Structure 1
Amino acid sequence: MVARSSLSHMRVSIGGLEVKMSGEGGGGEDPQKLKRIAAAAYDYDMDARWSDYWSNVLIPPHMAARDDVVKHFKCKFYQRYIDPDLIVEPMATSSSSQPARPSATSATHESSTRQRSTGSSSRPSGASSTPPPNSTSLRWDQQTIQFSVNAWVFVVAVLAIFPLVPKNLSDRAYRLSLLGTACSSVYSLYSLYGKPRAWNLQAVQVWFQTVIVTKDFIYSVYCLTFVSSNLCLKFALIPILCRALEHVAKFLRRNFSRSSLYRKYLEDACIWVESNTTTLSILSSQAEIGLGVLLIISLLSWQRNIIQTFMYWQLLKLMYHTPATASYHQSAWAKIGRSVNPLIQRYTPFLSTPISAAQRWFLR
C-alpha cells in the first residue's frame, strides 16, 4: 500500500523543468500538456534545422518580432522534426483585449483530443466540428494559392525543357512558367507587404526600399526580363524550377505529412529538397551568373538585345548585394575569380584593365 501510494505522485524533469505527475492510469497529466512543456523547453538555438526553418517562414517582419508568433512556429518545428504527435493549435490573432478566447479554444481542443484518445464518441452539446474563424484560414488560402501556382509552374517548366516536346509547345511552356513565377512573386509581395500607405513619392520610396531586398522582388524582375525577350534561353528555367520545387516541398511537408499517399510516394523527395535548400540556392546562383555570360555572348549574334543584357546585369548586381542572395552569389563569383584571373593574367593581360573597370562598377 505504501509502495502504491509512493507511485501516485512523481516528478518528471523535461529540459530543466519539473512536471508533477499523478500516477494510476487515466488520472495522470494530459499527454499533450507534457508534450507542450517539452516543446517549450527544447533548445532550438542548438538545433541547426531551426534557423533554416525560421528563415523560410513567410510572415511580415512586424509579426516575426512577437513572442507568441515565435512560440507558435517553434511548436510547429517541434511537431515536424521531434514529436509528430504534438497537437499545435491555430495561432490566436485576436487583440489583447480578448485574452480569454485562446484559453477557451485550448481547453475545448484538449477536451476533444482526450475524448478521441479514450475512444469516446460523445461530444459536448455546444461543441462544433469546425474551428472558430480566424486569420489562419486566410493564411491557409494564401498558402494554397501559392502551392497551386508553383506546382503548375514546376510541371510547365519540366514540359518546357523536356527534349521530345515540339518546339512551339516548348517555347509557350517556357514563357508560361516565367509568367507564373512572376505572378506568384508579385502575389507574395502583396500578401506580405501590401501596397504603399500613400501614393506619393516618399511613401512609395519607403515601400520600394522594403521590397527591393526580397527574393520575391528579384524573381519577379528576373522573370519579366526574360519573358519580354525574343531570346528563348531554357537555361533560365533552372532557378525557376529550384524555387518552385522548394515551395511545393515545403507545403506538402507542412500539410500532408500524415497522408499515406504522401508518405509512400513523396516524403523522401520532399525531405531531400528541404535538407538541400542550400544546394539548390547554389545551383540557382550559378545558373543566374551563367545566364549573364550567355547574354554577353548573344550580343555577337543577330538575336542580341543590349537593353535586356544591361538590365540583367543590373539585376545580377542587385543579387550580389542583397542579403537574401548575397552569400551564394559572392561565393560563386569568388570561385570564378580564382579560376579565371590566372588565365587572363597569363594569356590575355590586355583584358585586365577593362575587367577591373567592370569589377569596380559591379562592386560599388
Structure 2
Amino acid sequence: MGEEREDSQKLKKMAAAAYDYENDPRWADYWSNVLIPPHMASRSDVVDHFKRKFYQRYIDPDLVVEAMSSSTPSASSSTSSSSANESTRARNAGSTTRSSRASAAATSNTTSMRWDRQTIQFSVNAWVFIVAVLAIFPLVTRTLSIRAYRLSFMGTACSALYSLYALYGIPRAWNLQAIQVYFQSIITTKDFIYFIYSLTFVTSHLCLKFALIPILCRALEHVAKFLRRNFNRSTLYRKYLENPCLWVESNTITLSILSSHAEIGVGFLLIISLFSWQRNIIQTFMYWQLLKLMYRAPVTAGYHQSVWAKIGRMVNPFVQQYAPFLNGPVSAIQRWWLR
C-alpha cells in the first residue's frame, strides 16, 4: 500500500513538473502574490516548490508538497535506524487505509469549498459588471445611474475583501505587531489595491464615471476566466460567449494598461475637481497616496511606471521650452512621489 502511494506521488510530481505554467493565467497571479526575498525568487528550487504548491491548489489536491528545506539532509546507513523505520512502517500499516480515506474526504470538502469561493466571486463580479454598465449607459436616469455607480464600487470592495480573506485569512492575533505583519503581506496585492480604490469612491459625493473603467476591466477578467473554466462545454457558451471570453483572456495586458491609464487619469480629474464646488481635498490626497502605492506594487508597477514615463516625455519638453519656472515645483513633486 505504501509503495503504491509512493509510486502515485512520483507520477503526480512528474505531472506537476511537466505542467505548462506559463500558459496558465492563474500562475502569473499566484506568483505575483508570493512575497519572498528577491534572492530567493531567482532560485530554481524555490520556483519549483511554489509551482508544486500551485499545482496542488488548482490542479491536483492529492499531490503532497514537502516543506522547503534550506539544506539537504545526509543519508543514514545505520542498521538501527533502518530497523526502527521498518517497525514504524509495520505499526502504521493498519492506519494507512483510514488516513487515505480521511484525506480523500478532506480533499473533496476542500474542492467543494474552492468551488464555492469561485462561484461567489463569479456571482459578485458578474453583478458588478452589469451594474457598472448600467451606470455608464446614457439612457438611464440620473438617480438610477448614481445608485448603480455606488453599487458597483460596493460590489468590487466586497469582492476584493472576500478574496483577501480567502487567500490570507485574518491576523493571527489582534495586537499591533500581528496586524502590522498581516498588512505587510497584503498591502501590495491587487485585491487590497482595488479594495482601497473602491472605498475611495463609494464614500465620495463626487461621481466620476471614468473611474468605473478599472472596475469594469477587473470584473470582466474574473467573469471570463470563470466561464472558460466551468462552462466551456456548454452550447450557449460556445455559441455566444467563447470568442469574447477568449479575447479577454488573451488581452489581459491590454486591459491592465487601460486600467492604469484610467487610474492615473482619475487622479488628474480629482485635482481639477478641487477648483469646483464638489472638491474633496481628503479624497484627492488619499487617492494620490494610492497612486503612489500602485507605482510601487509589483502587480501594477510595470503598467503605471510605463504611463508615467510617457507623461514625462510629453510634459518635460513643454516645461523646458515654455515654462522653465516650473522646474522647481516639478522637481519637488517628483521627490515627494519617489520618497
Alignment TM class, shorter chain as reference = 0.7 to 0.9
**1:37 deviation in Å?**
10
Partner of 1:44: 20
After TM superposition, what 4+ stretches of structure 1 lie above 4 angstroms from structure 2? 35-43, 57-62, 64-68, 93-105
Letter in 1 for 2:118: Q
Q: Deviation of residue 91 (structure 1)?
A: 1.8
Distance 1:203 1:355, change over 3 A: same
Question: Greater RCO between the two (CA within 8 Å, min separation 6)?
Answer: 2
The equivalent residue for 2:245 is 270
Distance 2:175 2:16 in 1: 45
Q: Does 1:190 align with 2:157?
A: no
C-alpha distance after superposition, 1:302-356 (max 9, x if no partner): 1111111000000000000111110000011001111111111111111121111
> Normalized per residue, which structure has more helix?
2
**1:347 lines up with 2:317 in the alignment:** no
In the TM superposition, residue 53 of structure 1 has moved relative to its aligned partner by 3.8
How many residue pairs align between the two structures?
290
Q: Of residues 14, 24, 28 in structure 2, which corresponds to 1:55?
A: 28
Which residue number corresponds to residue 61 of structure 2? Answer: 91
The residue aligned with 2:301 is 326
Q: Give the distance between the partners of 1:199 and 1:93, measured in 2 at CA.
A: 34
CA RMSD of aligned residues (A): 3.2
* Aligned AA (2:144): L
Q: Superposed, which structure 2 residues align to 1:130-169 within 5 Å?
A: 133-169=108-144
Name the amino acid aligned to 2:315.
V
- Structure index of larger Rg: 1
Q: TM-score of the superposition, structure 1-length normalised?
A: 0.72
**Is 2:208 aligned against 1:233?**
yes
* Contact in 1 for aligned 2:294/2:300 (Cα 8 Å): yes
Alpha-carbon distance between aligned partners in 1 of 2:298 and 2:16, rounded to the nearest angstrom: 30
Query: Identity, % of aligned pairs?
Result: 65
Separation in 2 of the partners of 1:68 and 1:95? 7
The reply to whether residue 204 of structure 1 matches residue 188 of structure 2 is no
Q: CA deviation at 1:92?
A: 2.7
Gaps of 5+ in 2: 1-10, 36-46, 67-91
Q: 1:99 to 1:142 in 2, by over 3 A?
A: farther
Q: How does 1:261-340 map to 2 (within 5 A)?
A: 261-340=236-315
DSSP 3-state at the match of 1:231: coil
Partner SS, residue 170 of structure 2: coil
Map of 2:40 onto structure 1: none
CA separation of 1:100 and 1:154: change in aligned 2, threshold 3 A: farther
Alignment partners' CA distance in 2, 1:341 and 1:59:
33
1:151/1:297 CA distance change after superposition, 3 Å: same
* TM-score, structure 2 normalization: 0.77
1: CA distance between counterparts of 2:32 and 2:301? Answer: 21
- Cα deviation for residue 44 of structure 1 reads 3.3
Partner residue of 2:230 out of 246, 250, 255 = 255
